[in-house]
């Protein structure tokens, strides 16, 4: 008998399709896992940026007090006019920092004017999304045409003791219909 019957040809095609689909499925899943790993890495950097920014604010307040010749620069920078705590004390402008006190949340926009870089999201409200600025490659809250937001960052402060504040920075995103988040926290204390 010469040639293949129709059934033999269908069985051969089915075997080839199964043999090809397994590696293609594996490659597809590998690409999804690699993409999600990239997202987790970016999110961890954004969360750490939130912590570093708050630490920079503490340092700048100390330096401002020190340069002015204040002999109690560390204590005054921390307590700022008799309020206990750095962020929980308000830094002189109650509208800019106090909303960050847990359960309130704030967001960080490094491209905003200096006085508006930390802004309140509201009490128990989600913060706005971050857009990747194609010119500066910095994540910002300003809406950029043709750029889809992906990450959301929130920063909270909680007084642990009068000389210790817990700062928590959380970045969230959705990927393939599943929510993900990265949270980084650090304790801030007075300089000395």
Average of per-residue pLDDT across 23-29: 79
Specify the higher pLDDT residue, 9 or 81: 9
Q: Is the pLDDT of residue 96 over 70?
A: no
pLDDT for 158: 85
Percentage, residues of the chain above pLDDT 90: 19
Percentage, residues of the chain above pLDDT 70: 83
- Residues 170, 107: Cα–Cα separation, whole Å: 10
Q: Closest by alpha carbon to 156, among 138, 170, 174, 142? A: 170
Per the CB < 8 A criterion, the answer to whether 187 and 166 are in contact is yes
Per the CB < 8 A criterion, the answer to whether 163 and 78 are in contact is yes
Q: What is the DSSP letter of 100?
A: G
Q: What are the C-alpha distances in Å from 9 to residues 1, 12, 17, 110, 142? A: 15, 5, 12, 63, 59
- Summarised one tens digit per residue, pLDDT across range 154-163 is 998 888 888 8
Specify the DSSP element, H or E, that contains 130. strand 129-132
pTM for the whole structure: 0.76
pLDDT for 41: 94
Per the CB < 8 A criterion, the answer to whether 84 and 91 are in contact is no
- Residues 63, 61: Cα–Cα separation, whole Å: 5
Give me the phi and psi of 47, to 5 degrees please: -65, -45
| Reported confidence tier of residue 179, pLDDT bands at 50, 70, 90 | very high
| Reported confidence tier of residue 151, pLDDT bands at 50, 70, 90 | very high
- Residues 172, 184: Cα–Cα separation, whole Å: 12
């Amino acid at each position: 008998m010469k040639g293949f019957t129709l059934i033999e040809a269908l069985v051969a095609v089915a075997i080839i399709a199964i043999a090809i689909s397994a590696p293609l499925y594996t490659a597809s899943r590998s690409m999804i896992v690699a993409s999600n790993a990239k997202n987790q890495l970016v999110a961890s950097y954004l969360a750490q940026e939130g912590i570093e920014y708050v630490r920079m604010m503490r340092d700048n307040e100390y330096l401002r007090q020190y340069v002015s010749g204040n002999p109690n620069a560390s204590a005054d920078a921390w307590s700022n006019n008799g309020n206990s705590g750095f962020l929980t004390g308000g830094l002189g402008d109650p509208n800019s920092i106090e909303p960050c006190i847990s359960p309130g949340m704030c967001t960080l926009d490094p491209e905003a004017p200096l006085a508006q870089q930390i802004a309140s999201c509201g009490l128990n409200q989600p913060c706005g999304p971050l857009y990747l600025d194609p010119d500066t490659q910095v994540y910002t809250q300003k809406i950029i045409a043709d750029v889809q937001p992906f990450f959301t960052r929130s920063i909270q402060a909680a007084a642990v003791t009068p000389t210790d504040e817990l700062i928590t920075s959380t970045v969230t995103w959705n990927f393939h219909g599943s929510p993900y988040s990265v949270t980084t926290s650090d304790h801030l204390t007075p300089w000395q």
